[in-house]
Structure 1
Amino acid sequence: MKKFLNILSKPLTIIFLVLVIDQAVKIWIKTTMYLGQEFPVLGNWFYIHFTENPGMAFGMEFGGEWGKLALSLFRIVAVSGIAYVLFTLPKTTPKGLKICGSLILAGAIGNIIDSAFYGVIFNDSFNQLATFFPEGGGYETFLHGRVVDMFWFPLFEGTFPEWFPLWAGEDYLFFRPVFNIADAAISVGIGLIFIFQKRFFKTPAVEVNEEASQSE
């Protein structure tokens, strides 16, 4: 069991599993649902809602066709940098930090696959089920595809009170963004680094002091 868990915690294993699950869910959504179609999973709290976004994580966008191309190229450069850092970390690096880096890298790659290839290999999902390699070609060119999102958690909604700054009297919905497995992997990786930053980024002096205190 310990050996199995050790294999699961290796960066390449994490990246492979996240990518397989992410792409399997996206392809299932893309080929079985129309754009905008949804169905409840857990009452009114959790829906599978098919949407696509041309920009960043959680549906955020980045200006126009050139903006989309710039974002895709930036993603590729950023992923290359993250991969280089992750796979050149010293053996003494905490395993937890490597796991977080693997989640972030896998999530970034997952969304790059959508942006780079989905426009080429799928036709559009407006009022139809998408198919692989349609006769008329894909809905976009290379690096201009849209990211598939599907998880929506509208947990509660209401109206901000009149005394509330900036959004007084406006309606709100939590959690409004629709996201995918790749987005979740990135968010979990970044969140865990933030939570455990003191453990992940210990200075040698701190480690020596801790060892000294334990020996005493």
Structure 2
Amino acid sequence: MTETQPTTRSWRGWAVPLVLVAIAGGVLLADQLAKNWVVANLVEGQTVPVLGDFLRWHFVRNPGAAFSMASGSTWIFTILAAAVVVVILTQLRRLRSVPWAVFLGLLLGGVLGNLTDRLTRAPGFPEGHVIDYISTPWMWLWFPEAIYNIADIAIVTGMILFIVITLVDIPINGSGRKKSSESVHTGDDAGEFPEGTHATP
């Protein structure tokens, strides 16, 4: 039993971070391809119904945060996004949990998607405007005039997953729950039946 633990830890040491990288790369690629399509095919300010009023394309250039909030503070969000990327990368060494890898992958991909816009799109580095184009009027009750993109969806989904992970108490290194389980079956039992005694029905 104990002989297989180093192998398992070694396998998780590279496989779990790979899950993070794959998810982040997929989100970033899908986000940028969609934004490039929008810029090439839609007119800024144009609304194109997709599923009636449930889903529409509406091309805008967003200088603020997700859902078009805090416009005019682009450079601040550029710095914050870069800081988030650095923090996530520093966690790779500890990462052994797949749920954590999915959460961090979604967050990293979403942050990189919008950060790419701020670094490469007009009006220029580091204040480029983020391309938003997904409009769902039925959400306006909670988010007035919300227009967003794939990167925003990934970030919000990741944060929801983070809440679940926190509530369930899943450790980032994948070891906390296992240790507590072992203490229940070894430490407690040893204290109840000391060596040299026998339990009776």
Query: TM over 0.5: same fold?
Result: yes
TM-score bracket, normalised by the shorter chain, equals 0.7 to 0.9
For residues 15-38 of structure 1, the C-alpha deviation after alignment (integer angstroms, 9 at most, x for no partner) is 111111000000000111111111
More helix by share: 2
Alignment-derived partner of residue 118 in structure 1 = 121
The equivalent position to 1:200 in structure 2, one of 154, 162, 170, is 170
One-letter code aligned to 1:84: T
2-structure distance, mates of 1:36, 1:44: 16
Alignment-derived partner of residue 38 in structure 2 = 29
| Change beyond 3 A, Cα 1:103–1:173 | closer
Within 5 Å, give how 1:150-189 maps onto structure 2: 150-155=133-138, 172=141, 176-189=145-158
Tell whether the 8 Å contact from 2:170 to 2:176 is kept in structure 1 after alignment.
no
One-letter code aligned to 1:188: T
SS of structure 2 residue aligned to 1:200: coil
| Change beyond 3 A, Cα 1:41–1:175 | farther
2-structure distance, mates of 1:55, 1:156: 19
Give ranges in structure 2 of 5+ residues lacking alignment. 1-14, 190-201
TM-score (norm 1): 0.68
1-structure distance, mates of 2:36, 2:50: 19
Alignment-derived partner of residue 20 in structure 1 = 29
**Identity rate, percent:** 26
More strand by share: 1
1-structure distance, mates of 2:57, 2:184: 52
1-structure distance, mates of 2:22, 2:67: 25
For residues 68-125 of structure 1, the C-alpha deviation after alignment (integer angstroms, 9 at most, x for no partner) is 323312321221122222x2224xx321111110110110010000011011xxxxxx
The equivalent position to 1:104 in structure 2, one of 95, 98, 107, is 107
2-structure distance, mates of 1:112, 1:156: 25
Q: How well do the aligned residues superpose, as a CA RMSD in angstroms?
A: 2.8
1-structure distance, mates of 2:178, 2:120: 46
One-letter code aligned to 1:118: R
